[in-house]
Amino acid sequence: MAAPIEIRGFQYWPGHLDVSAQSTLLSDLRAVVAAAPLYSPVTPGGRPMSVRMTSAGRLGWITDQRGYRYETHHPAGQPWPPIPPAVLDIWHALTGLARAPDCCLVNFYGEGAKMGLHQDRDEGDFSFPVLSISLGDEALFRMGGPNRTDPTESLWLKSGDVLLMGGPARLAWHGIDRLRFRSSRLLPGGGRINLTLRVVEGATSPLSS
């Protein structure tokens, strides 16, 4: 396995997944979405987000007017489906951890979708990294530092790329500025899927029963 490229503390594996592996993941994700459909989230302030999302795993990350948090059930009421084994294999291989993630957040970016600069900080133990897998259209990923005012650097993420945020980059500000829509043939209708794997254990956010 190739060593990652380090950029501002982020570890980056360009082209880590070949076309066959990407297709396998896409098939697995179709099963996830069939069990827990994509939905359109809103921020606590009531602003609609441009991505659609769902989750797999013991917990799923959600946002609504009650706030940002992890829940054990999809907003429609059903429990989240399991994280696909092929996704877990990537997590274990690249993090070196025996501990499995609690959550695989699935974000779908359609034409014009983006994600503002933010930190992943709703988890209970920041010593665990966050692993991000890109599928589909290219996306301009912007990464900064632990402070909102830190300078940023941008990188075009392509289908099959994997990025790890750990150590000094675990609480770095980051976001997606734009897509190159239909730059990939993986999704017939175009768009990008981003999988974000997180350990949540110890989270202080309230969890539903």
**CB-side neighbour CA atoms (13 Å) of 8:** 20
Nearest-angstrom CA–CA distance, 173 and 144:
5
Structure tokens at 107: 């974000």
Handedness of CA 109, 113, 117, 118 (dihedral sign): negative
Fold of 5-198: Jelly Rolls (2.60.120)
Q: Per this entry, what is the length of the chain?
A: 209
3-state secondary structure the chain: CCCCEEECCEEEECCCCCHHHHHHHHHHHHHHHHHCCCECCECCCCCECCCEEEEEECCEEEEECCEEEEECECCCCCECCCCCHHHHHHHHHHHCCCCCCCEEEEEEECCCCCEEEECCCCCCCCCCCEEEEEEECEEEEEECCCCCCCCCEEEEECCCCEEEECHHHCCCCEEEEEEECCCCCCCCCCCEEEEEEECCCCCCCCCCC
Radius of gyration of the chain (CA): 16
- The fraction of the chain above a pLDDT of 90, given in percent, is 95
Nearest-angstrom CA–CA distance, 37 and 15:
28
Asked if residue 203 has pLDDT above 80, the reply is no
Nearest-angstrom CA–CA distance, 27 and 87:
12
pTM of this prediction?
0.94
- pLDDT at residue 1, rounded to an integer: 80
Nearest-angstrom CA–CA distance, 149 and 208:
35
| Mean pLDDT calculated for residue range 10-28 | 98
Whole-number average pLDDT of the chain: 95
- pLDDT at residue 206, rounded to an integer: 38
Domain ranges of the chain: 5-198
Q: Give per-residue pLDDT as tens, 86-136.
A: 999 999 999 999 999 999 999 999 999 999 999 999 999 999 999 999 999
Q: Give per-residue pLDDT as tens, 56-81.
A: 999 999 999 999 999 999 999 999 99
